[in-house]
Amino acid sequence: MKNKYLKRVIDGILKERLKMIGAIVIEGPKW
């Protein structure tokens, strides 16, 4: 059974921030 990755809304934002800054901090529960 393959795990299919579902994009979250934050994924696009994180990608852009990583391009600009190079590091991010994520706090809080995963789910």
The three-state DSSP-derived secondary structure of the chain is CCCCCCCCHHHHHHHHHHHHCCCCCCCCCCC
User: What's the confidence (pLDDT) of residue 30?
Assistant: 74
The confidence score (pLDDT) of residue 1 equals: 47
Q: Which tens digits make up the pLDDT trace of 1-31?
A: 466 767 777 788 878 877 777 776 778 887 6
Residue 14's SS3 state is helix
Residue type for 20, please? M
Q: In degrees rounded to 5, what are phi and psi of residue 10?
A: -70, -20
Q: Where are the domains of the chain?
A: 1-26
In this prediction the pTM is 0.40
